[in-house]
A and B are shown apart, each in its own frame.
Chain A
């Protein structure tokens, strides 16, 4: 039996009107109540007809294929509908994962800034992460007008120790967690996780962390521990040394040389802009993964469950961070993706904005509940992003031809209205420029945090070897060799004039390491490269001749020689 058979005209009007939200006011609700009780008089019927017909006419003449959102209450203004009426939602709708897909120049940062200024005074902590730009710092004046101190941490001003056990977390548990984080961000072989985990636990024992000590080992100590563990699986060990060395050299002791860095649970109570621009990509991953994972794991360990949002994190331009390719090629992508599904339960909101859904980790749309689309670059992007929120073909087609910067299609995570809706976000007024000096001044409010730097400031990844070398440039008095450099150079000295590829086996290094070290050795005058054309076509064979500087560098390491 069809509904048509049993429903009269007024029933149908009530059903249609309810879907369109025409009874969402006191009189409307009373009309619904009267209908339910069968107490309709001609006036009430007239009211119902009038309301529904009016709305139907409105919808019929609407040029956009989106329903009028029934989002009229809440503290957060998402934007304005086509008649410039505000669309609102409770701030707690952001207490979950949110995903924004929009291409460059479509107003992503403006939208995040707009929300950040509204959410700022409703949460204890806010982390605005600028992965590629320096735009969030402009909010400093806006925040100070609201009485909120926005701290700006520039890329080289971090004081962190990823091996510092987060508040309320068991060191054993954290050792394996941070080992996994390091494996993922440094793109290490899976087996390296075991070596890292055991090395970290050994260091925790040595530093008395397991008995409540507060002087944590650093990544420099970890590097040394792995370097000295010559019995470890050589591939894992070499991979750790090679990749960690790059990070340690890039960041130095000024960023990572702290027995106790900034406690992450304290950072989570502050409004901070983290500027990662200028850091190496692996470095960005490390900093971000550490901060987010440390806070998440700390909250989980505290047994926090289903609490209101008190930390809002926004990761701008997170394309590379949540890359599907990286996730499939590497060893699981990044740790944030794994934990992002838990954000709601632990009172943290995670807002991720990306340029395109292409190459976006499949997990991200699945674990984010609020979804927003801005102007995208291609119909493919609209299709992919539209599927996340269930847009119809007509809606996707409309978006492809009508979206402009500042216009978004949204779908909120919670509440009775979960249809996609169209809205615009106002342009930000011209914000006051914040200089680097002002940014650094804002860091003073972190001075009160308990930080203990390491004693050494001139750490080098190299075992420092003095080589008084006349053939090397006069200013280059000290020549340092890393483990892989030593092995390659020794192989060249012991087996001179072979083709470069022969040294991969002889030195037991990877082709990538060989490629990396070649220009270094040539620059340092360790070797001279000759080319031999092996046939009438193709790349020339490279023959490496050890020079005096290289021979001396090897000759100056007798102890190391013996240990090999």
Chain B
């Protein structure tokens, strides 16, 4: 993984959770669509479902990563460690107007990933 230790640890934990739900998970996945190539922290496939995951430990890259996923037409889960960061990212996304298709983008706490997968 190209991120820092904390980022990588969250990615590892997320991957484990997906794997436990029988998802095929790829890290640092190269995804190419509509002539755009993008790298995703995690890319999970199960049957005909796909989920792209971006791990955010700061608010810095939230918009870039969201736009990237939107262009690629992916379902994006932004995995964050804290509620505070989740709230900040959600506000930023709303204020910048990048979340028009709200269904495809979710900001999820690491501890909620398991629950979210159960709900699918």
> Using a CB–CB distance below 8 Å, which chain A residues touch chain B?
496-497, 528, 530-536, 540, 543, 545
Q: Is the beta-carbon distance between A540 and B9 smaller than 8 angstroms? A: no
Q: Is the beta-carbon distance between B111 and A535 smaller than 8 angstroms? A: yes
CA distance A530 to B4 in the complex (A): 12
A496-B5, A531-B82, A532-B81 known, 12 other contacts, Cβ within 8 Å: A530-B57, A530-B81, A532-B82, A533-B81, A533-B109, A534-B111, A536-B83, A536-B109, A536-B112, A540-B82, A543-B6, A543-B9
A535 nearest in chain B by CB position: B111
**Whole-angstrom distance between the Cβ of B113 and the nearest chain A Cβ:** 12
Please encode chain B, from 55 to 87, with 1 for each CB lying within 8 Å of some chain A CB and 0 for all others.
001000000000000000000000001110000
- How many residue pairs link A and B with beta carbons under 8 A? The number is 31
**Whole-angstrom distance between the Cβ of A233 and the nearest chain B Cβ:** 36
Which residues from A are CB-within-8-Å of B9?
497, 543
Identify which of B5, B81, B112 contacts A531 (C-beta below 8 A): B81
Q: Is the beta-carbon distance between B5 and A497 smaller than 8 angstroms? A: yes
Please encode chain B, from 1 to 42, with 1 for each CB lying within 8 Å of some chain A CB and 0 for all others.
000011001100000000000000000000000000000000
Which residues from B are CB-within-8-Å of A530?
6, 57, 81
CA distance A123 to B82 in the complex (A): 69
**Whole-angstrom distance between the Cβ of B106 and the nearest chain A Cβ:** 15
- Whether, in the assembled complex, B93 has its beta carbon less than 8 Å from a beta carbon of chain A, the answer is no
Which residues from A are CB-within-8-Å of B6?
497, 528, 530, 543, 545
B8 nearest in chain A by CB position: A497
Which residues from B are CB-within-8-Å of A532?
10, 81-82, 110-111
Which residues from B are CB-within-8-Å of A497?
5-6, 9
Of the A-B pairs whose beta carbons lie under 8 Å apart in the complex, a sample of 24, sorted by A's number, is A497-B5, A497-B6, A497-B9, A528-B6, A530-B6, A530-B57, A530-B81, A531-B82, A532-B10, A532-B81, A532-B82, A532-B110, A532-B111, A533-B81, A533-B83, A533-B109, A534-B111, A536-B83, A536-B109, A540-B82, A543-B6, A543-B9, A545-B5, A545-B6
Which residues from B are CB-within-8-Å of A528?
6
**Whole-angstrom distance between the Cβ of B24 and the nearest chain A Cβ:** 25
Q: Is the beta-carbon distance between B111 and A533 smaller than 8 angstroms? A: yes
Which residues from A are CB-within-8-Å of B81?
530-533
**Whole-angstrom distance between the Cβ of B50 and the nearest chain A Cβ:** 26
**Whole-angstrom distance between the Cβ of A360 and the nearest chain B Cβ:** 47
CA distance A536 to B111 in the complex (A): 9
CA distance A528 to B112 in the complex (A): 24
**Whole-angstrom distance between the Cβ of B11 and the nearest chain A Cβ:** 11
CA distance A543 to B57 in the complex (A): 13
**Whole-angstrom distance between the Cβ of A522 and the nearest chain B Cβ:** 15
CA distance A496 to B6 in the complex (A): 10
A540 nearest in chain B by CB position: B82
CA distance A530 to B82 in the complex (A): 10
**Whole-angstrom distance between the Cβ of A62 and the nearest chain B Cβ:** 72
Sort A-B residue pairs by CB-CB distance and give the 5 closest, nearest first: A532-B81, A497-B9, A530-B6, A545-B5, A533-B82
CA distance A497 to B109 in the complex (A): 18
**Whole-angstrom distance between the Cβ of A237 and the nearest chain B Cβ:** 33
CA distance A414 to B83 in the complex (A): 71
**Whole-angstrom distance between the Cβ of A58 and the nearest chain B Cβ:** 78
B80 nearest in chain A by CB position: A533
B81 nearest in chain A by CB position: A532
A498 nearest in chain B by CB position: B9
**Whole-angstrom distance between the Cβ of B86 and the nearest chain A Cβ:** 8
**Whole-angstrom distance between the Cβ of B3 and the nearest chain A Cβ:** 12
Which residues from A are CB-within-8-Å of B110?
532-533
Which residues from A are CB-within-8-Å of B112?
536
CA distance A545 to B3 in the complex (A): 14
CA distance A533 to B5 in the complex (A): 17
CA distance A531 to B86 in the complex (A): 13
**Whole-angstrom distance between the Cβ of B77 and the nearest chain A Cβ:** 16
Which residues from A are CB-within-8-Å of B111?
532-535
**Whole-angstrom distance between the Cβ of B85 and the nearest chain A Cβ:** 9
CA distance A545 to B111 in the complex (A): 19
B112 nearest in chain A by CB position: A536
Which residues from B are CB-within-8-Å of A496?
5
CA distance A532 to B82 in the complex (A): 5
**Whole-angstrom distance between the Cβ of A502 and the nearest chain B Cβ:** 13
CA distance A528 to B6 in the complex (A): 10
CA distance A496 to B5 in the complex (A): 9
Which residues from B are CB-within-8-Å of A533?
81-83, 109-111
A496 nearest in chain B by CB position: B5
**Whole-angstrom distance between the Cβ of A208 and the nearest chain B Cβ:** 55
CA distance A497 to B110 in the complex (A): 15
A537 nearest in chain B by CB position: B83
A532 nearest in chain B by CB position: B81
CA distance A415 to B5 in the complex (A): 79
Which residues from B are CB-within-8-Å of A531?
81-82
**Whole-angstrom distance between the Cβ of A495 and the nearest chain B Cβ:** 12
Which residues from B are CB-within-8-Å of A540?
82
Which residues from B are CB-within-8-Å of A535?
111
Which residues from B are CB-within-8-Å of A543?
6, 9
CA distance A86 to B109 in the complex (A): 79
CA distance A225 to B81 in the complex (A): 46
CA distance A533 to B109 in the complex (A): 7
CA distance A530 to B109 in the complex (A): 14
**Whole-angstrom distance between the Cβ of A119 and the nearest chain B Cβ:** 65
Which residues from A are CB-within-8-Å of B83?
533, 536
B57 nearest in chain A by CB position: A530
A530 nearest in chain B by CB position: B6
**Whole-angstrom distance between the Cβ of B33 and the nearest chain A Cβ:** 32
A531 nearest in chain B by CB position: B82
